[in-house]
Structure 1
């Protein structure tokens, strides 16, 4: 399932597929958790790594922040997750982190469009098509300012340092996420659930400066595999 980020000047597919450990049997409906987040199996998109559906308590934690240490092959990428902005997204991310889903995974995509500067991670297959075997609802931002580069007024500013989910359309969040290394203009269709720390911004700058791997078809790409291999060595929540 393709997930797309649309900038003012280019369409950028952020691909995430899903599945779950408890795969629905033939003919059976996909399992869905009974709490407010309603994590739902995606049997037609098997998991890249086996994980159960996340816990979905009656009252999803929705206050405070959670720090997550993310050492990478290019330097630290510390994250701060905001439960108030996106409680179901934070719950899922922490669940995947605690099960080692993100460990030793490669950030497979870097974009360098004038209005879209992101690094995309979270797929154990490294192809842009892997996911956890489940999906869940959007928790879309309502407080982002208009993007100053967009004369139509429809796009919002996803500022440098934002942490957000990739998706394949409404309510298709899985495991893939993106971090913004330069102010970007996007429709507000992507759940914002945290920020990148100062040390992480330096790491992102280094990765971006390394550029994107050229191909025979495009010797100077603005969208593709980072030239500097960026592997998430371990994703460790503080709680």
Structure 2
């Protein structure tokens, strides 16, 4: 009887040990499963964060106080390119003018200009303003050709030339705006001669640079202006009309 009792005791101890081992194995497997799944969630969250990262561009609907509008909708606000450059080809009555869009430095502005070009917003428009003293710019991009119009949205500035000397060298493409904080639209100006510091505040978005045809603009500027105000004879419509036939933007690099 004593022997049988001892054997029974040993069987119970063996069963207990096996049960504990199985339980420990299940705990280890369970912890491994949780870690693996948590790791997978972390990866998914990272991808989601990466997809959601990038430029945050806000395009506000324009109201009547901003002037006349040509409504072609709003630019996209997701998946906005923020690296590299794209080429703008502007065919005009005085010849072809090419410039780059700097997507890295001015992604929201480049995105807007690309969108408008895709809508043929700039086609068959005229450059309505030329300034030949103090600041040396040809201003274009108003669908109504008088400096009072733009798209049915506005947005803020970026890539201001605060640390550049001169702030607006010849060939600069920058965006026109009013005194309002959110007032950038479709109008842009082409600098055909260096603008010295103090002549124009560093408050205008620099979006690109002319790569071809700056000489055409310089030649047109040399013909002078028809002043809007007789007391300011160097600011008005260019005597040599500059009319945009088409304005296109190259596809994004793959």
Q: TM-score by structure 1 length?
A: 0.75
Q: Matches of residues 58-207 of structure 1 in structure 2 within 5 Å?
A: 59-113=79-133, 115-142=134-161, 144-147=163-166, 157-169=167-179, 170-185=181-196, 186-198=200-212, 200-207=213-220
In structure 2, relative to structure 1, the CA distance for the partners of 1:119 and 1:144 (3 Å cut) is farther
In structure 2, relative to structure 1, the CA distance for the partners of 1:43 and 1:206 (3 Å cut) is same
1:43: Cα distance to partner? 2.3
1:143: Cα distance to partner? 5.6
1:217: Cα distance to partner? 3.4
1:42-83 superposed Cα distances (whole Å, 9 cap, x missing partner): 1224653230111010x4211000001101111111111000
1:134: Cα distance to partner? 0.5
> Are the aligned partners of 1:161 and 1:195 in contact in 2 as well (CA < 8 Å)?
yes
* Larger-Rg structure: 2
Q: Superposition RMSD on alpha carbons, in Å?
A: 1.9
Distance 2:243 2:67 in 1: 23
1:154-174 superposed Cα distances (whole Å, 9 cap, x missing partner): xxx200000000001223100
Distance 1:216 1:90 in 2: 33
SS in 1 for 2:88: strand
* 2:237 is the counterpart of 1:225: yes
Q: Out of 33, 57, 72, which is 1:37 matched to?
A: 57
In structure 2, relative to structure 1, the CA distance for the partners of 1:214 and 1:40 (3 Å cut) is closer
1:206: Cα distance to partner? 1.5
> Are the aligned partners of 1:140 and 1:189 in contact in 2 as well (CA < 8 Å)?
no
- Where structure 1 has 5 or more consecutive residues not aligned to the other structure, the ranges are 1-34, 148-156
The count of aligned residue pairs is 192
Q: Which one has a larger percent helix, Structure 1 or Structure 2?
A: 2
- Where structure 2 has 5 or more consecutive residues not aligned to the other structure, the ranges are 1-54
1:209: Cα distance to partner? 1.3
For CA contacts below 8 A with separation 6 or more, give which structure has more relative contact order. 1
In structure 2, relative to structure 1, the CA distance for the partners of 1:215 and 1:123 (3 Å cut) is closer
* 2:61 is the counterpart of 1:50: no
Q: TM-score by structure 2 length?
A: 0.71
> Are the aligned partners of 1:144 and 1:158 in contact in 2 as well (CA < 8 Å)?
no
